[in-house]
Amino acid sequence: MLKGKHIILGICGGIAAYKSAYLLRLFIKAGAEVQVVITPAGKEFITPVTLSALSGKPVISEFFTANTGSWNSHVDLGLWADAMVIAPATASTIGKMANGIADNMLVTTYLSAKAPVFVAPAMDLDMFAHPSTRRNLQLLQEYGNHIIEPASGELASHLVGKGRMEEPENILKAVDEYFTKSQDLAGRHILITSGPTYEKIDPVRFIGNYSSGKMGYALAEECAARGADVTLISGPVSIKAKHAAIKTINIESAQEMYNASVAEFPQCDAAIMCAAVADYTVENQASHKIKREYDEIPVIRLKKNPDIAAALGSMKQDGQLLVGFALETDNERENALAKLQRKNLDFIVLNSLNEPGAGFMTDTNKVTIIGSDGTCQEYGLKDKKLVARDIVDTLTGKLS
């Protein structure tokens, strides 16, 4: 899977830097093109001459090349890369990455990188165990980076504990597995509904909700990154899909979302119903703006909206999967399971309103995935991008 891939190998100033030469060699052998970016301290541990000889490219360390004045563009590098692998990653660089301190070429390149980033920490056991290192690694993980945990063993200090950089073969394996898995939705077509719906009261007012669309958009990006063609049916939100394989259909009302979903579902392998659809719409929608000067207080009469998930559940053919979401305040699991059965879903993602940091408008979420057989898998509080990864992992495991 690494053949032809563009990899930035970031090297920091730690004794494990000597192993980076071997890792570089493995990447080259696997057919990848490697650009080394090294921190100033990294050069104290391994010479750029060794690394440029192995990679066949000049090593980048400074923002400018002193003798020519030419500029090393971290933005171009970030766009060029299919992956960035930082091995060894020292406590200092991990701290800078977690906090956006871009005072060298490596961290600047990291901040510009659009590709997945792998971080292989290497440090003394006490540095690794320090709460600041733990917190910074946790932050990097929440930002969507892949942490390749260090192994336990004898360290350069001769102390024994956790902090040894993972062996180059295993780092290569982790990156290779990522690329193998990363295309597990190739040739699939996934439908995703996302965001709120707006139900018009009059030409300038509506009934809506606080859904930001972040969870649905994260799901769309994750499916597209893993090779799927995605149709994203989105209510009004302030974010935009980035991946070229995502076709966005913008709608406002639940009825419009229903029409688009019913038309698209027959062409899809799976649908993920992530939208916060209004349960009711306005029956007596006014064609002109309702004026304050009216003598009588206007009455807004409601009628039921169609249940899109349930409609797709009744259309579902063999081989198609349907995923729903549930936001519950009481008897969470029982209610979610009942909803799964009522709507003929294959699994349901329960997010609790009782959890701080979960649900509407946040960047994080905490979910439990409930299968049609009632099995529950609980996950911790994570960035919505990582929650999307867990949900899509469950989906790919069930696709035939």
Catalytic residues: 209
Give CA separation, 26 vs 22, 38, 245, in Å: 6, 18, 32
Long-range contacts, stretch 28-31, CB < 8 angstroms, 24+ apart: 28/54, 28/55, 28/56, 30/2, 30/3, 30/172, 30/176, 31/2, 31/3, 31/4, 31/5
The site for ligand C5P, by CB under 6 A, has a size of 14
Q: How far apart are CA 180 and CA 223, in angstroms?
A: 14
Instruction: Give the range of 35-43, 109-117, 219-227, 273-281 binding ligand C5P by CB under 6 A.
Output: 273-281
Least Cβ distance, residue 348 to ligand C5P (angstroms): 7
Q: At what angle do helices 308-315 and 254-264 cross, to 10 degrees?
A: 20
Out of 27, 45, 265, 325, the residue judged to bind ligand C5P by CB under 6 A = 325
Q: Which of 97, 84, 105, 86 is nearest to 14 (CA)?
A: 86
Q: Is 324 in the site for ligand C5P (CB under 6 A)?
A: yes
Stretch 183-202: interaction string toward ligand C5P, x if CB under 6 A: ----------x---------
Least Cβ distance, residue 397 to ligand C5P (angstroms): 19
SS3 281: strand
Considering only residues 333 through 392, tell me which ones interact with ligand C5P, judged by CB under 6 A: 339
Q: Is 326 in the site for ligand C5P (CB under 6 A)?
A: yes
| Strand pairing report for 229-234 and 189-194 | parallel
Q: Is 172 in the site for ligand C5P (CB under 6 A)?
A: no
**Which of residues 41 and 310 has its CB atom nearest to ligand C5P in the complex?**
310
Q: Is 32 in the site for ligand C5P (CB under 6 A)?
A: no
- Spatial neighbors of 144 by CB under 8 A, at least 6 apart, are 116, 383, 385, 386
Considering only residues 113 through 142, tell me which ones interact with ligand C5P, judged by CB under 6 A: none
Least Cβ distance, residue 326 to ligand C5P (angstroms): 6
Structural tokens at position 280: 């009711």
Out of 83, 273, 322, 388, the residue judged to bind ligand C5P by CB under 6 A = 273
Least Cβ distance, residue 281 to ligand C5P (angstroms): 10
Stretch 276-315: interaction string toward ligand C5P, x if CB under 6 A: -x---------------------------x-xxx------
Structural tokens at position 329: 């305040």
Least Cβ distance, residue 202 to ligand C5P (angstroms): 22
Least Cβ distance, residue 396 to ligand C5P (angstroms): 19
SS3 326: strand
Instruction: Give the range of 49-57, 139-147, 323-331, 354-362 binding ligand C5P by CB under 6 A.
Output: 323-331
**Which of residues 209 and 396 has its CB atom nearest to ligand C5P in the complex?**
209
Q: Please report the DSSP string for 8-66 in residue order.
A: EEEE-SSTTHHHHHHHHHHHHHTT-EEEEEE-TTGGGTS-HHHHHHHHTSPPB-SSB-T
Stretch 247-266: interaction string toward ligand C5P, x if CB under 6 A: -------x------------
Task: List residues bridging with 84 in a β-sheet.
Answer: 8, 117
* Residues that bind ligand C5P in the complex, under the rule CB under 6 A: 193, 254, 273-275, 277, 305, 307-309, 324-326, 339
